[in-house]
Amino acid sequence: MKIFIAAIAITLLLTPPNRAIAKDILYSSYQSGNWEVWIVDSQGNRPRQLTRTSEEERYPAWSPDRKKIAYATNTGKIYLMDRDGKNKKLLTGISGKCDQPAWRPKTNKLTFVSFTYRKGEHSDIREIDTETSNKPVKIVSKKGVVNFPAWSPDGNRLVYALFHRGPFQQVIEELWIKDAIAETESPLIQSGQENFQPDWSPDGRSIVFASNTTGDYEIWVFYLDPARLVRLTDSPGFDGDPCWSPDGRKIAFVSTRSGKKQIWIMDKDGRNPHQLTRGRYESRDPDW
């Protein structure tokens, strides 16, 4: 696995999160017979359904002040709603098939993946101001599919996955970082396998992500300074879709270790994993 760190300017952010409003976890679940957005507290109590439509809702994302939620649909639309599920609003000013919304910290700007279909697989990462709904700005465009954008806590660097096909049509996903200030891009991890679903730690020191480098899909963390990789899970099946708790002490993730995809929580070092969501139907896409 190749690791690139020299070109990345690292800024450590030590501002503690507001724990008073950081207990709830967003996720999508098929529990009602359709993929909808749900919310649950970090103890697994009081799960509540926030959307009820004929479309499939997915990739819910907290706004920086945790007062708003952005989410995508299977029809390529992005909506905003209040944290209690009220006042749903279609985000206008965007076109095409859009997915995977991610808020830029300390702003009203929403980053998302915009898919286009032209001579193969392609997508861009774009950004729109949710207050003005002006025309989105393209911030990442590369040959192949770019997806799973996640901002550093200072809003200056964007980590994302780059999907492309290998010489035998195998799936390859690399992690890249864009410095939004210097307007430079650098590869972070290139292993010839799948490395995807990154999430930046609240202190800016590390990036958690999913990878099948060892065969199974497991969760890894990349420490930026000094550069080192640590595997956090070792379970047959799928462990992925990790996201940090706002205080950086825990990681929520998706696992099939109970038989179906459910949301689990573990300590930041991979210890003490325990199941958060339960039921007959799958859950995924956590955002803490």
Which CATH class name applies to 2-6+24-287?
A: mainly beta
Please report the pLDDT score of residue 83 as a whole number: 97
State the pLDDT at residue 13: 42
Q: How far apart are CA 259 and CA 245, in angstroms?
A: 24
Closest CA to 210 of 232, 199, 195: 195
Nearest to 250 by CA among 234, 229, 270, 233: 270
pTM, 2 dp? 0.91
Query: Burial level of 265, CB count in 10 A (0-12/13-18/19+)?
Result: buried
With CA atoms as reference, report the closest residue to 125 among 134, 137, 133, 108: 137
Identify the three-state secondary structure at position 65.
coil
**pLDDT tens sequence across 25-70:** 999 999 988 999 999 999 999 999 999 999 999 999 999 999 999 9
Segments of the chain scoring below 70 in pLDDT: 1-22, 117-120
The domain spans of the chain are: 2-6+24-287
Distance separating alpha carbons of residues 222 and 183, to the nearest angstrom: 22
**129 in Cβ contact with 116 (< 8 Å):** no
